[in-house]
């Protein structure tokens, strides 16, 4: 009945992914390749979680 008050995990993961990708972009532009690699790795992990949530939804 009150399911519309629950947060959508897919939406949350999409926001996190966008934020990580933006942080990685800025790190790359600033020349911090190690931070870029770390943030990219974190973004890939979030992407895998997002894909898992999407596949569970179907």
* pTM of the predicted structure, to 2 decimals: 0.85
Cα dihedral sign for 51, 15, 13, 36? positive
Residue 3 in domain:
no
Residue 45 in domain:
yes
Quote the number of domains for the chain: 1
Query: pLDDT (tens digit, 9 = 90+) per residue, 3-58?
Result: 677 788 999 999 999 999 999 999 999 999 999 999 999 999 999 999 999 998 87
Residue 32 in domain:
yes
What are the strands, taking DSSP E only, across 1-58? none
For residue 24, the tally of other CB atoms under 10 A from its CB is 20
Residue 53 in domain:
yes
Residue 31 region by backbone torsions, left for phi larger than 0, else alpha for psi between -120 and 50, else beta: left
Residue 2 in domain:
no
Torsion of CA 40, 46, 52, 57, to 10 degrees: -130
- Give the structural domain span for 46: 8-57
């Amino acid at each position: 009945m009150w399911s519309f008050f629950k947060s959508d995990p897919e939406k949350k993961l999409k926001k996190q992914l966008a934020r990580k990708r933006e942080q990685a972009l800025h790190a790359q532009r600033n020349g911090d390749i190690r931070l870029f690699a770390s943030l990219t790795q974190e973004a890939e992990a979030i992407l895998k979680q997002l894909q898992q949530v999407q596949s569970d939804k179907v």
